Amino acid sequence: MNYFPTMNIHDDPAALKALQDDIYREKVLRARKQSPAERLADAFEITNFVFGNMLAGAMAQKGITTESEGWEEVRRRLERLCRVHDHGRYAAEKPLAA
């Protein structure tokens, strides 16, 4: 599909959906070419890369100059994220009726 650089694709729901489908299709077809072990290896690599970016982002945003302080900020952010993601999903006690 061709996209014209002057158009704002968000103004055209059909074009936006077509672009989203194109991007998704490319991801799926790439994954299909990989073996299960290769996909697992990619997940490891992406995770390490993302954590590196989280460290760089936290240090830049907070003006932190040492990695240890940067990781502490990342840890705090992850704890907050976990609380949001897990809200209502976990309980400290199992009800008697469950």
Partner 1 sequence: MNIESLAAAVLDACEAASVTHMLTGAFATSVYGIPRSTKDVDVVLGVTGGDAFEKVTAKLDLIVQFDPQIQFDTLTWGRRLVGTARTPPPFKVELFELFDDPFVQQQFQRRRKLYSAQIQRETWLPTPEDVVVQKLRWGRSKDLDDARDVIAVQTPEALDMTYIEDWCGLHGTKERLLKVLGEIPPL
Provide the binding-site residues for partner 1, judged by CB under 8 A. Answer: 21, 24-25, 27-29, 31-32, 34, 36-37, 39-44, 46-51, 54-55, 67-68, 71, 74-75, 78, 81-82, 85, 88-94, 98
**Minimum CB separation from partner 1 for residue 19, in Å?**
11
**Minimum CB separation from partner 1 for residue 60, in Å?**
17
| Total Cβ atoms within 10 A of residue 70 | 20
**Minimum CB separation from partner 1 for residue 77, in Å?**
9
CB distance 70 to 55 below 8 Å: yes
| Total Cβ atoms within 10 A of residue 88 | 5
DSSP label at residue 64: -
Q: Which is nearer to partner 1, 12 or 21 (CB)?
A: 21
What type of residue is 17?
K
Centroid of chain to Cα 78: 12
**Minimum CB separation from partner 1 for residue 52, in Å?**
8
Distance CA 92, CA 85 (A): 16
Q: Which is nearer to partner 1, 10 or 29 (CB)?
A: 29
